[in-house]
Structure 1
Amino acid sequence: MADFDLVVIGGGPAGYTGAIRAAQLGKKVAIIEVEKKLGGTCLRVGCIPSKALLESSHLYEASSHGFKDRGIVVGDVKLDLPAMLTHKSKVVDTLAGGLDGLMKKHKITRLAGQGRIDGPGKVVVDGAEPKTLTTDAILIATGSQPSTLPNVVLDGNLVGSSTEALAFDAVPKHLVVIGAGYIGLELGTVWRRLGSKVTVLEFLDRILPGMDSEIAADALKIFKKQGLEFRLGTKVTGVKTTTNGCEVQIDGAEPVVCDRVLVAVGRKPNTDKLGLETVKVETDKRGFIPVNEHYQTAAKNVFAVGDVIGGAMLAHKAEEEAVACVEHLYTGYGHVNYGAIPGVVYTEPEIGTVGKTEDQLKEAGIPYRKGTFPFAANGRARASGTTEGRVKMLAHKDTDRILGVHIIGAHAGELIAEAVAAIEFGATSEDIARCSHAHPTLAEAMKEAALSVDGRTLNM
């Protein structure tokens, strides 16, 4: 008999979620993680610590500049960056400890080291205590790492990725962000709120590639108003470090001199040193592992989920894939609806999105109707002083089925959940319009956007 029913390589959101679900189904499970903490990039140096800094920086800016208009007068507000970073670390440590507790609760064997496949049904743990495990099935969930550009070397100090940008020991006077996607904008706004001059360089002629272009255009206006500087259509050809900081070289323009550089141009899969060749699994030209609809690789009983298989590199997408993979393996059924996977940009205001963008519908020739409603016309938004942004709903012209919802505004990351559920259950805009939404709430903007699809908003 094998040592385990399932060995999971990688302890991030996909890995630990898959391990827990398999254990819930009565399987003997081991999980291998090279880092000291479980949680992967998301918990250690990604989603969670960045949100801690985003929230803290927002509170700092509000107390410094925003309270007076609300009748709250405070004295001199000072930034204690070490304390802010300590709070971030405590959040990470607490949640990582919680994951350790979950492994024990579900009787999952946790092993420290680098997991490596060594032929069918065998996994080697390279670490302080090397060992070889036998298993009936293997789940690869090793995640991803930051990418860079040609001639841009990440030195882990002045020129870094999101990992370094989460732990600057001082507020940069001038931070250059290369890339205007989710990560670059989130961390750029953190340091802008804390006092940095922030310049965002983007190769494309727009920000937030892949997002609905109207919402992205709204976001650009808001971020410019907040003080972020954007240089779109800009090709970075290299970065030089000097005694005074960094020099970002640009094709056809003068270089930009700054203190630090954040490179946020995407991520690449962690598929090296996995021993894939021992089970005759090959990656594609970008390093991703090809899988079938049940997340099975070219090798029998070797599966892969999350960032290593491509698609949207989102923790919740990875978790859904892990559950679907494990459930299909042990119950015969598992499914992910990729049309109902939300995305959130945790800037201020937030941006939430799910389903098709208007650009995609136009390109595909799908007939649709559009409804929008601004937060400026929402009572709760007015009372809270958060009137920027809007809800945009796209519904099929003939069936009225909701095809996509895109929100820019306060708490968009929470509001988008209603739209996710609506798309998952095949709801129409009429269904949302007929649902009672509590007054006064920001969620009423969703109802009004649904009414707008039919041209009958009530409050505008």
Structure 2
Amino acid sequence: MTFDFARKQRIAIIGGGPGGYEAALAGAQLGADVTLVESTGVGGSAVLTDVVPSKTLIATADAARAIEDAGELGVQFFARGDSGRPLKPEVAINLLAINKRILALAGQQSEDMRERLIEAGVSIISGHGRLEGDDAIVVSTGPEGTDFDRIEADTIIVSVGASPRELPTAKPDGERVLTWKQMYNMSSVPEHLIVVGSGVTGAEFASAYMNLGSKVTLVSSREQVLPGEDPDAAKVLENVFTRGGMTLLAKSRAERVENTGDGVVATLSDGSTVEGSHCLMAVGGVPNTKDLGLEGAGVQLADSGHILVNKVGRTSVPNIYAVGDCTNLVPLASVSSMLGRTAVFHAMGDAVIPFAKHKIASNIFTSPEIATVGWTNDARHSVELKLDLEENPRAKMMGVKDGFVKLFARDHSGTIVGGVVVAPKASELIFPIAMAVERRLTVDQVARVFTAYPSLAGSVTDAARAMHGVDLRGEA
């Protein structure tokens, strides 16, 4: 492919999720002629059916839990009965109203993103796009693929995301057996929700519905909830789940899930069964890369269907990039957004910082939240220190009992290389640790930073101060 530098560079993007959206904005910012093709709406599934809706549901569940826990802080809710005596009211959950609000917020967020793209000069086409070689995409815009647009491009970016993985023996029906996309169709809180899968999605929905009042059974094929995450963090969450009445079935695999008409029955690999009212299948995602014309364009795919990319999102075809959950990189909206911008900057010759997995700050929106950044499992070269959150004065004031801040630092230099936070709003508290990892700050440098007193963030500096004097053997 050759470029005609006498005209604007043409960028065509398939998929308007976080990666495609940021790529479009970056291209417009640098003066490119940008066309975005999206079949469901700007923001993609992340905004319309995944990240934004699920985190809105979780925020609502947290509010319900806060009301129930307020009594421990001396805040009491009463109504007066006919006799004039106080009655303690129950917290009522109107799931129909909750889901209506969730979908409205998601739709508004999508519309806000669409308006910003239009203001930036991005052309938006509603339809299904597929590659035609390495220099054009064809868009089906009419019903049943009757109308087509052909868009020539110097650079093509694929950001088509992923869909819930479905098991042949547990096919979602949208009524009793559900994927995470179908959870917002329910009009009442499930009496007994069986969650199959204890990864991020399964743990988040299990936490939310437990706090909304459902009886929850979490089926995990691994030894712990959130396999692969920090063991101390997983243990805190398991304790919270058990204390809240959740049933945890570790080392259990669901072989089959059936809709019985008035409920569901999950058959486990050992032959035992679990009966419930509904079942959420949270067993991972499948990249939406089928029938995109990728193979014909020469784009290399993994056996799983994920697009293979390098650290700037470039595929095996030099002018074709891919970002987001459809690639072999970390499936996080934040990673997709960052890589969308990086891909455009690289394609247009701007300065870029290649993707580095250890610098990603990720968060699991359970209650409490679990946030992680950097190297957190390299015991050979680092020393760790964990400070329980219950020692923090602000946490005491808020009635917070569960959680901690853990820092990892190099034994020779004291440079912070990672951290784990388990706390309310851990997604906010991980930021200073992420900054320390990014800028290679030492524990002493972080310890000298002022934090407000009292504050939960004070636990970060307290942990850093406790690590002062780390010697060459990694001992405090």
The 5 Å alignment of 1:88-103 reads 88-103=102-117
Note the alpha carbon deviations across 1:344-367, whole angstroms, 9 max, x for none: 11111111111122xx313xxx22
- Displacement, 1:242? 1.1
TM-score between the two structures when normalised by the length of structure 2: 0.91
Structure 1 match to 2:118: 104
**Counterpart check, 1:12 vs 2:25:** no
Aligned equivalent of 2:54, options 34, 44, 50: 50
Structure 1 runs, 4 residues or longer, greater than 6 Å off: 1-4
* Alpha-carbon distance change, 38 to 74 in structure 1, aligned in 2, over 3 angstroms: farther
Letter in 2 for 1:24: Q
- Displacement, 1:332? 4.1
Whole-Å separation in 2 of the counterparts to 1:120 and 1:71: 63
Structure 2 match to 1:347: 366
Structure 1 match to 2:230: 212
Contact 1:63 1:74 in 2 (8 A): no
**Counterpart check, 1:313 vs 2:318:** no
**Counterpart check, 1:296 vs 2:307:** no
* Alpha-carbon distance change, 455 to 240 in structure 1, aligned in 2, over 3 angstroms: farther
Whole-Å separation in 2 of the counterparts to 1:194 and 1:263: 19
Contact 1:141 1:308 in 2 (8 A): yes
Contact 2:375 2:418 in 1 (8 A): yes
Identity of aligned residues (%): 28
Structure 2 match to 1:242: 260
Contact 1:177 1:198 in 2 (8 A): yes
- Displacement, 1:100? 1.2
Contact 1:354 1:406 in 2 (8 A): yes
Letter in 1 for 2:70: G
Contact 1:3 1:134 in 2 (8 A): no
- Displacement, 1:231? 0.5
Note the alpha carbon deviations across 1:304-349, whole angstroms, 9 max, x for none: 1111112321000111111111111113432223211111111111
Whole-Å separation in 2 of the counterparts to 1:381 and 1:292: 42
Structure 2 match to 1:439: 453
Note the alpha carbon deviations across 1:374-423, whole angstroms, 9 max, x for none: 11111111111123211011111112111210011111110001111110
Letter in 1 for 2:369: E
Whole-Å separation in 1 of the counterparts to 2:449 and 2:300: 49
Letter in 1 for 2:23: G
TM-score between the two structures when normalised by the length of structure 1: 0.94
- Displacement, 1:171? 1.1
Structure 2 match to 1:126: 140
Whole-Å separation in 2 of the counterparts to 1:442 and 1:272: 46
Whole-Å separation in 1 of the counterparts to 2:303 and 2:223: 27
The 5 Å alignment of 1:196-275 reads 196-275=214-293
Contact 1:146 1:266 in 2 (8 A): yes
111-120 or 60-69: bigger deviation: 60-69
Contact 1:150 1:237 in 2 (8 A): no
- Displacement, 1:178? 0.7
Indicate the SS of the match to 2:189: coil
Whole-Å separation in 1 of the counterparts to 2:102 and 2:195: 22
**Counterpart check, 1:356 vs 2:338:** no
Structure 2 match to 1:21: 26
Structure 2 match to 1:144: 162
- Displacement, 1:271? 0.6
Aligned equivalent of 2:429, options 415, 426, 429: 415
Aligned equivalent of 1:87, options 90, 101, 106: 101
Whole-Å separation in 2 of the counterparts to 1:147 and 1:119: 29
Contact 1:350 1:412 in 2 (8 A): yes
Note the alpha carbon deviations across 1:131-152, whole angstroms, 9 max, x for none: 1111111000111111134522
**Counterpart check, 1:452 vs 2:466:** yes
Whole-Å separation in 1 of the counterparts to 2:27 and 2:251: 47
Indicate the SS of the match to 2:348: helix
Whole-Å separation in 1 of the counterparts to 2:429 and 2:98: 28
Contact 2:415 2:440 in 1 (8 A): yes
Contact 1:4 1:134 in 2 (8 A): no
Contact 2:300 2:315 in 1 (8 A): no
The 5 Å alignment of 1:175-190 reads 175-190=193-208
* Alpha-carbon distance change, 186 to 455 in structure 1, aligned in 2, over 3 angstroms: farther
Whole-Å separation in 2 of the counterparts to 1:257 and 1:250: 11
Contact 1:371 1:451 in 2 (8 A): no
- Displacement, 1:68? 6.1
165-174 or 14-23: bigger deviation: 165-174
The 5 Å alignment of 1:366-381 reads 366-381=380-395
* Alpha-carbon distance change, 281 to 443 in structure 1, aligned in 2, over 3 angstroms: same
Aligned equivalent of 2:357, options 338, 354, 357: 338
- Displacement, 1:66? 2.9
Indicate the SS of the match to 1:403: strand
Q: Unpaired segments of 5 or more residues in structure 1?
A: none
Contact 1:326 1:334 in 2 (8 A): no
**Counterpart check, 1:63 vs 2:81:** no
Contact 1:3 1:135 in 2 (8 A): no
233-242 or 19-28: bigger deviation: 233-242
Cα-Cα RMSD: 1.8
Letter in 2 for 1:34: S
Indicate the SS of the match to 1:185: helix
70-79 or 419-428: bigger deviation: 70-79
- Displacement, 1:81? 2.0
Note the alpha carbon deviations across 1:244-301, whole angstroms, 9 max, x for none: 2211110114111111111112112111111112212231101111123332222231
